[in-house]
């Protein structure tokens, strides 16, 4: 059996090979540090694409509100009959 001293001495050599933040398959791993800032062209493309998307959504909400409110007028529930609502007549037992 191993004495305690040999085990204590072996622990640092066992943990040297373990890396918790090593990159895999050529990827860049960022651990406890901020990622590199994006290129100016990428930020500009994202802003332009976002602006076009929001223009498209808001333009169509203003010009075609039927997509949200519905195409037809909502019927007046006070004009529905008991038969349409599925309510049996009062004299039926």
Helix (H, G, I), strand (E, B) or coil at 77: helix
The reply to whether 2 falls in a domain is no
Q: Are residues 49 and 55 in contact, defined by beta-carbon separation less than 8 angstroms?
A: no
Percent above pLDDT 90 for the chain: 29
Residues 6+ apart with CB under 8 A from 27: none
Residue 45, domain extent: 38-66
Q: How many domains does the chain have?
A: 1
Segment 47-72, tens digit of pLDDT: 999 999 999 999 999 999 888 888 88
pLDDT average, residue stretch 22-41: 73
pLDDT for res 55: 98
């Amino acid at each position: 059996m191993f004495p305690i001293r040999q085990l204590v001495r072996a622990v640092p050599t066992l943990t040297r090979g373990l890396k918790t933040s090593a990159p895999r398959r050529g990827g860049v791993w960022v651990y406890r540090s901020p990622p590199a800032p994006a290129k100016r062209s990428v930020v500009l493309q994202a802003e332009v694409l976002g602006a076009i998307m929001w223009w498209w959504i808001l333009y169509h909400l203003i010009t075609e509100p039927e997509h949200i409110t519905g195409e037809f007028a909502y019927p007046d529930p006070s004009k529905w009959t008991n038969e349409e609502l599925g309510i049996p007549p009062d004299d039926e037992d």
